[in-house]
Structure 1
């Protein structure tokens, strides 16, 4: 099973359930210490949201299964942090 300490996901979800319900469901997974869900875009049929999950450890497959049960789909994985501690991205000249 893949585990991580931070996971940033771009999700497509239906209007229902709302982002409060989605955040609460993911926050209830064992090992999760915090969840942030932000609405990025609303379409006629779906919403695009950015979800940041932190924990020790995050069971990635369980997060995916929970989101799928809520009707959400992972559009992309925008960041993942693994290991003994959280490493922040370094600034580089192209940033």
Structure 2
């Protein structure tokens, strides 16, 4: 089976879990080389974030379990890249310029 190289997820996380801590916990998972979290919307108790997870062999189930252990909820899987490499059209987006 082809390994997952990139996931883009729509996630709802508790406000009390710092975004930096959220990203660090996920980046510590085996097979994950990098994470990026972009705030989309904040409410009193929750934040809607876009989570990008990249690596040589990302384990979707472990990512989902980590999100849940941090009190988050996975809303949707917005993008998945599998195989030996990230296709060219996704390389430009993969540099996380939207974080600047």
TM class by shorter chain equals 0.7 to 0.9
How far apart are 1:18 and its partner, in Å?
1.0
Aligned to 2:71, the other structure's residue is in SS state: coil
Larger Cα-atom Rg: 1
Quote the residue 1:4 is aligned against: 4
Q: How many angstroms apart in 2 are the aligned matches of 1:88 and 1:44?
A: 39
Q: If each structure's helix is expressed as a fraction of its own residues, which one has the higher value? A: 2
Question: Retained in 2: the 8 A contact 1:3–1:60?
Answer: no
How far apart are 1:16 and its partner, in Å?
1.6
Cα distance, 1:12–1:80 mapped onto 2, change above 3 Å: same
Quote the residue 2:98 is aligned against: none
Quote the residue 1:16 is aligned against: 16
Q: How many angstroms apart in 1 are the aligned matches of 2:72 and 2:89?
A: 27
Q: What stretches of structure 2 of length at least 5 have no aligned partner?
A: 91-100
Quote the residue 2:96 is aligned against: none
Confirm or deny that 1:27 pairs with 2:27: yes
TM-score by length of 2: 0.83
RMSD: 1.8
Q: How many angstroms apart in 2 are the aligned matches of 1:71 and 1:2?
A: 29
Within 5 Å, give how 1:1-80 maps onto structure 2: 3-80=3-80
Q: How many angstroms apart in 1 are the aligned matches of 2:3 and 2:42?
A: 31
Question: Retained in 2: the 8 A contact 1:11–1:74?
Answer: yes
